[in-house]
Structure formats: C-alpha cells, structure tokens
C-alpha cells in the first residue's frame, strides 16, 4: 500500500454546475451534479494533485460546482498547503498517536485554523485512507452536514469488506435479480466496460475494499490462464480504488483442469497443482486477494469426497496462498443430512476450532439456515474461539421478494451484528466476536452477497441500491444505526425535488426514510412472522408454498419440515425436548430460547412447536396473532403506496413510476402471502380469521396451482 501522509482541501465555490443526467438510477448515491453547495461555507479549494483521492474529490467537485479543482487556477492555494505540510501543526499531527491509531485505512477530517484561514484537513496514513476520507467529506457535503467545525476520526471495523458475486462465467447470476452479470467475460481483457470503474468508485465511496468475482458454485474454468488474464484486467481497474480481487474456486479443479486422477488434498500432485496455479495467479496479479471456497455443500466437491476433512482441504489451499499473503475464505454453509438442519454447520465445524492455518477464515451465514427473512444468529459466532470467523450477509433478496419488493436490510443486519452471543460474557456481540475484539486474528472480514447486475440502475429496484449502500456502511462501522444509513442514502439519492423547495425535499426524504426503516419488519410480517421460516415456493424462493411436497426431495428442502403444522400447533421444536438446537447457544441464551415464556416472540416458532391457542404476550392466541401479523404486513405495504404516491410531484418521473409499479407488485404479493398462509394453516388451526381483518380474496386451491416460471440461474 502506498504511503502518503495527508492532503488538504480548502474548499471554495465558483459557480454551480449544470449537468444534465437521465434520472434512471445509474448514478446511484453519487449524484454530485445535483448537490447544492452552500456558498457560505467554502472559501477556497485546493489539494495535492499527486494523490488519487484528490483526483476523485476533484472529479466530484467539478460536478458539484462546475469548477475545475486543482487546476492552474488554484495553484496559488497549494503554497498554503505546502507551508502547512511543513508546519509544526502538521508535523506534530503526523507523529501523534491519533494518527497511528488510524491504521492503514482510517482517516481524520478536521477543521483547523491556519494563517487566519479555516481549513478542512483530511489526513490519513495511506492513499486508501485518503480515499475513504475524501468520500466521507463528499458525503458530508452531499448530506448537508459539512460545517466549519468538523472533527471526524474513522477507521473500519473489519479489515476486509467484501462483496461476493454469485456471477457465473456464462453471464447469468445465481439469485441475481438485476439483469445479467456486470462482468462481460467474453469482452475481457481487451474491452473494459466503463461500468467497472463506476462499480469500483461506488464501492470505495462506502468503504468496500474487496470483491469475489464469481459464484461460490464455481466452475474450474475460472482458474484457466485465459480467465486469469481477464481477472487481471479487472484488478487493474479496481486497484486505484483500493479494491482487492478474490475468486471462488472449485475444489475439484486439479482433477478437471489439471487432469489428475482426483483432487485429494493429501495427494502430493494435487498440492503441487495448487501451488503452481497460485503462483501463476500472483505472477499476473501480485496483490491478488485469495480464494473463497464452497466445499462439500449442495453437491459441490470437497475434501470429504476423499475421506478428508474441511481442515485438510482448507489448509492445503491455504499453504499454497501463504507465501503471497493470500487469504482463504472457507464457507461453513454445509448441511449433510442427519439432524435438524439448523444444527448441522455447527456440528460439522466446532470440532475444527483452532486447527486451521492462520490465513484461513471461516465464512458463516448470519443465520443457521439460509438467509431467511428473519433468523436468530448462527451459533457458530462466538463458538469458534480460536478460529477467525467472518459473517456472510445476503444483499441480493433471494428470500425477500427479489428485486420486486422494497425491503431495506440494514435493520436486519444491525439486529444480527448487535446480537449478544455471550460467548465471552455479556457484550460479546456477533460484531465483537468477528471484528478481532475477542478472537485474535490476522485478518477480520465481512462479506455481502451482491445484488448488482447490468440493469441500468444496477440493482433492479431503485431502493435495492440502499442495501448495497448499507452493507458498505455497516461493514465499515457496525455501530452505525440503520436510521443514519437510511437518512444518508436518502439524502444522497433523492436529493432533488422537482419543486426544488427545501421543505419539499425534506418532507419527501422523511417519507422515504420512514418507508425504509419499517420495511424489513413489514416484509417479515407478510412473509414469515413469529419465527416461521422456509415456507417458500420450491427453488425460486419467491412466493408462498407451505404445502409444497416434491416426492423424493430432501425433507429439509421442503416447507413442512420447518413449519410442522398440525392440529396441535405449529413451529419447530428446537428445545431440549426437541432437536435441542438451543444447546448450541451460550447461557443465558440457551435457557431463554428453551423456555417458551422467555423466548423472544420474533423467534417463537423457530424454537418451539406451539399450540394454536397459546397465549401471546398481548393476550391474543397464537392463531389470532398470526392473522394480525399477516394483515398488518399487507396494510403496511398499502401505506407505502400511499406515502409514495403523495411524492409524485417531488420525484423525477422515471424513478417515481418504476418504484410505484414495484410497490403495486409488492402489495399484490403481500395479499397473496397472507391469503396463502392463513388459508393453508387454517386447515390445521380450524379457527376463524378474526372478523375485523379483511377477508381472503383467493381460494386456497387456486393459490396452490400457482407455479411461477422463474428460472433459478444456476
Ligand atoms: O440458499 C442457497 C441458495 C443457493 C446458493 C447457496 C449458497 C450459491 O439457494 O443458490 O448457492 O445458498 O449459499 O451456497
């Protein structure tokens, strides 16, 4: 990493920019040309021209103001910068412990007074820190929080803040709902789409610093010499933006590509094959990040095919990466049949604690099953006390209405990251057991499965951009609140009212933030409240199919396995009388989850099989409460429609119409969910739907016939 010390911005204003862009969402939250710079606050702009961060700032600044920063015109200001750089103010700062604490990616932004001028100083130890500092400063200008009294000190919570693309080499995206892959493999390396740089800039602006280019269901082809050249081309676009490139690999590659008899990790030729392959990659891409591996999971090959273990497999590849500083991310998304699926990953991995090489990190999905609308955190967090573990979140909405539903995921991730595991006593949150506070590790990391495709607005739904944004912000700071993220994103993305009065922008933004912040709970309500899970339609996971039965399918791929509805009640008994999954949690959580009275109601049917007439905390029966929850989900979406329609005169017509149309789909889907679930479960509960609730408008038999033609891009 290049070492630099600081650069400086003395901000001034000369004329507002007048750029015209289509309102198609392609600019994401980086809509600099729409920013109105407060003239009173700025009195001069300059900066070091030899730093990439400064050129990024300049690029944004020129869009905001029409002013070419860092050109001849401002050269005079540079003398002030150089004087300051030599001054003891800066010398002292450079040596300060505060600077040291910033590490390789942190920064500080501070208002200082120098030669009777108020200056805004961005300082960091590296180019990367300056880049993040610049984008932070820009964000302050974009969100109107810039002032002449700034004191910001930031450094990232995790070393690696990484997107996982489930993009296939044929251009499809597994669980992708925003068009095809942005990687145009056929055109690479010769042709570089301008989207690559825009992607890197967007990531850098929210602090993301790494990417896994291809699907964890990986084909060996990604390791061919031809693809290495393509990866190299992408890496060189991303490098200035401090984004490291990783790839997913197929464990059987030595067999398939290297024509070895097998891929047994104990076979010397296999070990040699990996060493040579890794060497070839690093020759092409010296700062290559490493590999992500899904092994012995959902039919993919792995060390267990040869009677070996995850440790054998992971360590063998880690050894090949080690000389180059490469990292191996090994996924714990495994569920060999045999027990309650929620227990399987823990059971398979817990015995390996402390046995992996120090350049291995175990990647664990946030919940024990699979990215459900709501899950308790995976018990592997905190349980692996001598093994680095990284959370994997899913930004793409596989189980949350694809790109049709408006669901802001920051509150869900905040709930996960702030959950207390009690692994090291009170306060050992999922964040704290993965960010190096408790488990000493060389590298800490957090991954998000990307929702990006080649749609013009990147993410299908305009509001799904907020989830990409939120992942970056939470990966940078797991203490930031969802509210802050929602406010930032909204004020950067819906920054220009058609009426252009200040109060109308503010009102519009307030409505959007209100929608964002409640939207996850709303979706949980109309899909799977009170701890219900995995009652989705087969394969594409879009609509409801609690009745789904596919002869011969694995039982734990079918909804009935999870809801267990009968005349007696509903829910999965994971107490000590049932599968005892509760025992995988630390005290006092295991006792709390085990006890039906103490178990948080949001997880009730996750941990308990509950009689329909069970009394909830509010006095209702379980059945009535389910009915009210589903209904309130529907009502909430209708509220969003009303709030949105009221904004018509405020929002550009294209984004307004596109969001409006998807809200209509969401409202129809919410009704579909409510009707399907209540009518189906009513055949078990045999209780009436409370009479003040809007009646179902479908017949159960008709709903059962719905078969969506949605290809699972695999
Ligand atoms: O939830 C499942 C998805 C698969 C996915 C798998 C995984 C990439 O349905 O599409 O495969 O999880 O995370 O490996």
What domains appear along the chain, each with residue ranges and CATH number? 4-154 (3.30.379.10), 160-480 (3.20.20.80), 525-572+609-704 (3.90.1330.10)
Please compute the mean of the pLDDT values over residues 276-305 and round it to a whole number. 98
The Å distance, Cα 296 to ligand 1 centre, comes to 13
The CA 420 to ligand 1 mean position distance, Å, reads 26
What pLDDT score does 693 carry?
97
pLDDT-derived band at 710 (thresholds 50, 70, 90) equals: confident
Whose alpha carbon is nearest atom 1 of ligand 1? Answer: 370
d(CA 379, CA 357): 22
pLDDT tens, residue by residue, 328-384: 999 999 998 889 999 999 999 999 999 999 999 999 999 999 999 999 999 999 999
Lowest mean pLDDT segment, chosen from 26-40, 187-201, 664-678: 26-40
Residue 13: pLDDT band (50, 70, 90) is very low
Mutate to test the pocket of ligand 1, among 165, 172, 173, 174 (most ligand atoms within 8 A of CB): 174
Tens-place pLDDT, residues 235-262: 999 999 999 999 999 999 999 999 999 9
Q: What is the DSSP letter of 653?
A: H
Q: With beta carbons less than 8 A apart as the criterion, state whether 598 and 588 touch.
A: no
97-101, 219-223, 292-296: segment of lowest average pLDDT: 97-101
> What's the 540 CA to ligand 1 centre distance in angstroms?
11
Residue 43: pLDDT band with limits 50, 70, 90: very low
Closest Cα to atom 11 of ligand 1: 217
pLDDT reported for residue 95: 79
How do beta strands 117-123 and 360-365 pair? unpaired
Query: Minimal CA–CA distance to 632: which of 429, 624, 16?
Result: 624
pLDDT higher than 60, residue 283: yes
Q: Which DSSP category does 139 fall into?
A: H
Q: Please report which confidence band the pLDDT of residue 282 belongs to, taking 50, 70 and 90 as the band edges.
A: very high
Nearest to 452 by CA among 28, 20, 5, 8: 28
* Residue nearest ligand 1's atom 12 by CA: 370
Per-residue confidence band for 9, with pLDDT thresholds at 50, 70 and 90: low
Q: Tokens 């095809």 identify what position?
A: 180
> How far, in Å, CA of 410 to CA of 418, rounded?
12
* pLDDT band per the 50, 70, 90 thresholds, residue 19: very low
- Rounded to the nearest 5 degrees, what angle is found at the Cα of 341, between the Cα atoms of 376 and 703? 85
Q: What is the pLDDT of residues 544-590, one digit of tens each?
A: 999 999 999 999 999 999 999 999 999 999 999 999 999 999 999 99
Q: Residue 714 CA: which ligand 1 atom is closest?
A: 10
The answer to whether residues 263 and 312 touch, using CB atoms and an 8 Å cutoff, is: no
Strands 244-249 and 610-611: unpaired
Pair of tokens at residue 610:
């509950």
Scored b (16 or more CB within 10 A) or e, 403-434 reads bbbbbbbbbbbbbbbebbbbbeeeebbbbbbb
Return the higher-pLDDT residue of 549 and 505: 549
Residues 6 or more apart in contact with residue 425 via CB below 8 angstroms: none
Cα of 217 vs centre of ligand 1, distance in Å, is: 8
What are the pLDDT digits (tens) for 478-495?
Answer: 999 999 999 999 999 998
Which among 175, 216, 345 is the best mutation to test ligand 1's pocket, defined by most ligand atoms within 8 Å of the CB? 175
Pocket of ligand 1 (CB under 6 A): 166, 174-175, 216-217, 294, 298, 333, 370-371
* CA 413 to ligand 1 centroid distance, Å: 18
Nearest alpha carbon, ligand 1 atom 2 = 370
pLDDT digits (tens, 9 = 90+) for 135-168: 999 999 999 898 889 999 999 999 999 999 999 9
pLDDT at 309: 98
What ligand 1 atom has the least distance to the C-alpha of 174?
Answer: 10
Residue 114 in this model has a pLDDT that exceeds 70: yes
Give the position, in ligand 1's atom list, of the atom nearest the Cα of 365: 13
165-179 confidence digits (pLDDT tens): 999 999 999 999 999
Residue 14 has pLDDT above 50, yes or no: no
Torsional sign, CA 462, 463, 468, 469: positive
**Can the peptide bond before residue 16 be classed as cis, meaning omega within 30 degrees of 0?**
no
Active site residues: 298, 370, 398
CA distance 702 to 227: 48
Mutate to test the pocket of ligand 1, among 166, 248, 375 (most ligand atoms within 8 A of CB): 166
Tokens of 571: 């829910």
Decide the pairing of beta strands 360-365 and 327-331: parallel
Cβ 627 vs Cβ 689: under 8 Å:
yes
Residue length of the chain: 714
Mean pLDDT over each residue of the chain, to the nearest integer = 92
pLDDT range class, residue 35, cuts 50, 70, 90: confident
Could you identify the atom of ligand 1 that is nearest to the CA of residue 297?
A: 14
CA of 297 to the centre of ligand 1 (A): 9
């Amino acid at each position: 990493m290049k070492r630099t010390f600081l650069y400086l911005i003395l901000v001034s204003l000369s004329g507002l920019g007048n750029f015209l862009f289509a309102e198609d969402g392609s600019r994401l939250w980086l809509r600099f040309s729409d920013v109105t710079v407060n003239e009173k606050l700025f009195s001069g702009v300059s900066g070091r021209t030899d730093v990439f961060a400064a050129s990024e700032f300049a690029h944004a600044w020129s869009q905001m103001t029409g002013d070419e920063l860092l050109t001849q015109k401002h050269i005079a200001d540079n003398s002030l910068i150089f004087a300051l750089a030599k001054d003891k103010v800066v010398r002292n700062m450079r040596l300060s412990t505060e600077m040291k604490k910033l590490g390789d990616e942190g920064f500080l932004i501070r208002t200082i007074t120098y030669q009777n001028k108020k200056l805004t100083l961005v300082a960091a130890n590296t180019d990367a820190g300056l880049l993040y500092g610049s984008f932070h400063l820009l964000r302050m200008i974009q969100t109107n929080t810039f002032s002449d009294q700034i004191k910001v000190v930031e450094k990232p919570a995790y070393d690696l803040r990484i997107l996982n693309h489930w993009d296939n080499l044929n251009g499809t995206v597994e669980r992708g709902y925003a068009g095809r892959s942005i990687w145009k493999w056929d055109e690479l390396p010769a042709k570089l789409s301008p989207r690559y740089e825009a992607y890197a800039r967007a990531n850098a602006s929210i602090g993301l610093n790494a990417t896994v280019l291809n699907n964890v269901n990986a084909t060996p082809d990604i390791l061919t010499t031809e693809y290495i050249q393509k990866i190299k081309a992408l890496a060189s676009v991303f490098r200035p933006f401090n984004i490291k490139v990783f790839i997913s690999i197929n464990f059987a590659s030595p067999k398939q590509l290297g024509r070895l008899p097998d891929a047994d990790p104990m076979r010397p030729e296999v070990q040699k094959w990996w060493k040579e392959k890794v060497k070839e990659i690093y020759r092409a891409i010296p700062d290559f990040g490493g590999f992500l591996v899904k092994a012995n999971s959902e039919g993919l090959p792995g060390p267990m095919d040869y009677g070996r273990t995850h440790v054998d497999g992971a360590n063998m590849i880690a050894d090949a990466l080690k000389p180059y500083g490469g990292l191996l991310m090994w996924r714990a998304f495994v569920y060999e049949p045999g027990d309650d699926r929620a227990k399987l990953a823990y059971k398979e991995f817990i015995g390996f604690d402390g046995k992996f090489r120090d350049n291995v990190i175990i990647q664990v999905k946030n919940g024990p099953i699979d990215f459900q609308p709501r899950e308790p955190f995976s018990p592997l967090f905190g349980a692996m006390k001598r093994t680095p573990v990284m959370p994997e979140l899913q930004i793409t909405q596989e189980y949350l209405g694809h790109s049709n539903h408006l669901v802001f995921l920051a509150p869900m991730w905040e709930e996960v990251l702030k959950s207390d595991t009690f692994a090291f006593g009170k306060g050992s949150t999922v964040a704290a057991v993965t960010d190096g506070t408790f488990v000493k590790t060389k590298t800490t990391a957090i991954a998000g499965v990307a929702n990006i495709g080649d749609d013009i607005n990147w993410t299908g739904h305009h509001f799904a951009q907020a989830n990409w944004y939120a992942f970056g912000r939470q990966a940078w700071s797991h203490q930031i609140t969802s509210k802050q993220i929602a406010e930032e994103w909204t004020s950067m993305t819906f920054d220009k009212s058609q009426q252009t009065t200040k109060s109308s922008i503010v009102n519009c933004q307030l409505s959007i933030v209100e929608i964002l912040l409640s939207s996850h709970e709303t979706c949980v309500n109309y899909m799977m409240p009170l701890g219900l899970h995995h009652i989705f339609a087969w394969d594409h996971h879009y609509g409801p199919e609690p009745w789904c039965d596919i002869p011969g399918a694995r039982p734990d791929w079918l909804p009935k396995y999870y809801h267990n509805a009968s005349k007696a009640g509903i829910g999965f008994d994971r107490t000590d009388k049932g599968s005892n999954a509760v025992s995988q949690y630390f005290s006092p959580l295991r006792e709390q989850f085990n006890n039906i009275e103490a178990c948080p109601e949001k997880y009730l049917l996750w941990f308990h099989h509950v009689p329909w007439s069970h009394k909830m905390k509010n006095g209702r029966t379980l059945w009535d409460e389910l009915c009210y929850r589903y209904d309130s989900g529907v009502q909430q979406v209708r509220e969003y429609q009303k709030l949105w329609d009221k904004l018509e005169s405020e929002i550009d017509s294209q984004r307004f119409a596109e969001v409006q149309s998807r809200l209509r789909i969401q409202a129809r889907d919410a009704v579909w969910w409510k009707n399907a679930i209540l009518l189906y479960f009513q055949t078990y509960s045999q209780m009436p739907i409370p009479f003040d609730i809007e009646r179902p408008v479908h017949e159960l038999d008709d709903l059962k016939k719905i078969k969506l033609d949605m290809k699972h891009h695999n």
